[in-house]
Homo-oligomer: A and B are copies of this chain.
Amino acid sequence: MKFFKVLKKDLKTNARVGRLVTSRSIILTPVFMPVGTKGTVKAAKVEDLYELGFKIILGNLYHLYLQPGIEVIEKAGGLHRFINWKESILTDSGGYQVFSLSKIRRVYDEGVEFKSITDGSSHFFTPSSVIEMQCRIGSDIMMVLDECISFNKDYQYTLSAAQRTLKWARLSLEAKKSISLTRDSKIFGIVQGGFIKEIRKYCAESISQMDFDGIAIGGLSVGEERALTMEILDFTLNHVDREKPSYFMGLGDPLGVLEAISYGIDMFDCAMPTRISRNGSAFTTYGKINIKKSIYTYDYNPLDEKCDCYTCKNYSRSYLKHLYKSKEILSSILLTIHNLYFLNKLVENARYAVMKGCYEEFVRNFKRNYTNNADNKKH
């Protein structure tokens, strides 16, 4: 089967429903992919993820390379066996982490040198070495090494980083071709180009012309205003090959996801939904709430009355508030289940809306409820 097929396009927006087929899973898009940075989606068991309906999660090469190390995972029989996950894994190349986490790093045309955040040791990632390592751990979808720049870099800096990223993209494809794989694996290019449209267009078109299986949009949602994110995203997507799946790296808030879908994004990942779960926050139909507030002490309603997740079917806000206040691990477990369910349901509903031809109406309704400021409502 073809890796990606568009099943239905929305008439009024660029939203679409599609299907990804990896050697392990059939994945309907738009899809939200939970982040399992270090080989576990934080606070979730794989059975929780299966039950929630997830078919693909992320792993992060930068973190897995430093701990436990590629060899440990390879000798375990690959990442899937190591972490006991039977569906697909998309691995991030670690490019973003090299540039955001490592205080000391040096970029060469050949790759990037960085010091480990844990022990200060020196390491060198090249476009081909990160592909080779992703192959060794058995990634289903690999990402290329890219040079991530911070917000508001000037034209020359942005262009030179973009050119290096494009050069690395070509080297990544060559590297993958030189490796013989026992199981099919896909590779995505990444469009950079900062916030300069001319360079974005150049990158989008260049990456589109290369032999990638999918196209990721990188370098957005890095601190800029949401309106600018979406303007650049919309612009960029008008210059990528729409036959390939498009992936917005690092977006996971409900309203952002729905807007990005309307511009044509098919895949999302973000650590935020699981991170806020450990901080007592929960998405609900009527907006995000934080369970630690005193108004929830005697509130025996579920987190979200319209939600059918395990947490909402079995636990009250009162109990969840108590667990959070008591610093109990179960608090993180139950909120993670709820928030992942919420996002999965959101993209599922988005797919239905596209299929029924009413995506704009669906987004309007969702937004009206979601901006209702749930934490301040009387219950």
Interface residue ranges, A against B (CB under 8 Å): 38-40, 42-45, 63, 67-68, 72, 75-76, 82-84, 297-298, 300, 314-316, 318-319, 321-323, 325-326, 328-330, 332-333
Given the known interface contacts A72-B298, A316-B82, the answer about A329 and B67 at a Cβ–Cβ threshold of 8 Å is: no
Given the known interface contacts A76-B300, A298-B72, the answer about A333 and B329 at a Cβ–Cβ threshold of 8 Å is: yes
Least distance between A310 CB and chain B CB atoms (Å): 9
Bound: A145/B318 CA distance, A? 28
Q: Which 5 A-B pairs have the closest CB atoms?
A: A68-B322, A43-B329, A40-B330, A38-B326, A84-B314
* Cross-chain contact A328 with B40 (CB below 8 angstroms): yes
- Which residue of B has the minimal Cβ distance to A42? B329
* Cross-chain contact A318 with B43 (CB below 8 angstroms): no
CB contacts (< 8 Å) of A300 on chain B: these are 75-76
Least distance between A331 CB and chain B CB atoms (Å): 9
* Cross-chain contact A318 with B72 (CB below 8 angstroms): yes
* Cross-chain contact B82 with A319 (CB below 8 angstroms): yes
CB contacts (< 8 Å) of A298 on chain B: these are 72, 75
* Cross-chain contact B67 with A325 (CB below 8 angstroms): yes
Besides the known contacts A67-B326, A84-B319, 18 further A-B residue pairs in the complex with CB atoms under 8 A apart: A38-B323, A39-B319, A40-B326, A40-B328, A40-B330, A42-B330, A44-B330, A68-B321, A72-B318, A75-B298, A76-B300, A76-B316, A82-B318, A82-B319, A84-B314, A84-B315, A329-B329, A329-B333
* Cross-chain contact B322 with A72 (CB below 8 angstroms): yes
CB contacts (< 8 Å) of A82 on chain B: these are 316, 318-319, 322
* Cross-chain contact B319 with A83 (CB below 8 angstroms): yes
* Cross-chain contact A76 with B318 (CB below 8 angstroms): yes
CB contacts (< 8 Å) of A63 on chain B: these are 326
Least distance between A355 CB and chain B CB atoms (Å): 34
Bound: A39/B321 CA distance, A? 12
* Cross-chain contact A330 with B68 (CB below 8 angstroms): no
CB contacts (< 8 Å) of A42 on chain B: these are 328-330
Bound: A298/B70 CA distance, A? 12
Least distance between A226 CB and chain B CB atoms (Å): 30
Bound: A298/B75 CA distance, A? 8
CB contacts (< 8 Å) of A332 on chain B: these are 329
Bound: A45/B323 CA distance, A? 12
Least distance between A105 CB and chain B CB atoms (Å): 22
- Which residue of B has the minimal Cβ distance to A300? B76
Least distance between A71 CB and chain B CB atoms (Å): 8
* Cross-chain contact A333 with B45 (CB below 8 angstroms): yes
Bound: A28/B323 CA distance, A? 30
CB contacts (< 8 Å) of A43 on chain B: these are 329-330
- Which residue of B has the minimal Cβ distance to A330? B40
Bound: A297/B72 CA distance, A? 7
CB contacts (< 8 Å) of A75 on chain B: these are 298, 300
Q: Contact partner of A328 among B38, B314, B325, B333, CB < 8 A?
A: B38
- Which residue of B has the minimal Cβ distance to A84? B314
* Cross-chain contact B68 with A325 (CB below 8 angstroms): yes
CB contacts (< 8 Å) of A38 on chain B: these are 322-323, 326, 328
- Which residue of B has the minimal Cβ distance to A314? B84
Least distance between A37 CB and chain B CB atoms (Å): 9
A-B contact pairs, 30 of them (CB 8 A): A38-B328, A39-B322, A39-B326, A40-B323, A40-B326, A40-B328, A40-B330, A42-B329, A43-B330, A44-B330, A45-B330, A45-B333, A63-B326, A68-B318, A68-B321, A68-B322, A68-B325, A72-B297, A72-B322, A75-B298, A75-B300, A76-B300, A82-B318, A82-B319, A83-B319, A84-B314, A84-B315, A329-B332, A329-B333, A333-B333
